[in-house]
Amino acid sequence: MSFKSFPPIFDEQCRLLILGSFPSVKSREVSFYYGNKQNRFWGVLEEALGLDKFAAPSDKAAFLLERHIALWDVVCECEIKGSSDSSLVCLKPNEVDRLIKGGSIKTILCNGTTAFKLLNRYFPDIDANTVLLPSTSPANVRFDREKWLDALKNF
């Protein structure tokens, strides 16, 4: 069985794109990015940017856009068992290159190695500064919050 990702949180003023690999089971259940409450993503944004990690999805999206931050996943459609990136089989990537060409994005923060590798596999010539950050997934036992905080502060 295949699954599809969410549309991007994006507008023409976005200068930063945060890319994940593909939504987790919990995210698909709530139909929004990083829906697993154990995922560190929204907590890092709360610490770095002042976002309320308990805000409604629409408020989170508005918060990102107000700060010119886009959010998306590399994979558009895939087969996956549970939420494990190791079982992910990409059937179709999202059109990340078109998103970059259509706006002002200069930097991409990749949330984890899988997102970084998939981005480079499908879009090797993308015209943006690409930064690999540790996955915010609760499965990542070597998560380094400081790398995220530094990357977001530098933005």
- CA-to-CA separations, 145 to 46, 64, 81, 91, 151, in angstroms, rounded: 12, 19, 27, 31, 10
d(CA 97, CA 66): 22
What pLDDT score was predicted for residue 2? 78
* Prediction pTM value: 0.92
What pLDDT score was predicted for residue 88? 64
Per-residue pLDDT of the chain (155 residues; tens, 9 = 90+): 678 899 999 999 999 999 999 888 899 999 999 999 999 999 999 999 999 999 999 999 999 999 999 999 999 987 767 666 666 676 899 999 999 986 799 999 999 999 999 999 999 999 899 999 999 998 888 999 999 999 998 77
Answer CATH for 2-154 from 3.40.50.2300, 3.40.470.10, 3.40.190.10, 2.60.120.10: 3.40.470.10
Say whether 3 sits in a helix, a strand or coil. strand
What pLDDT score was predicted for residue 3? 83
Listed in sequence order, the residues at least 6 apart from 84 whose beta carbon sits closer than 8 Å to its beta carbon are 139
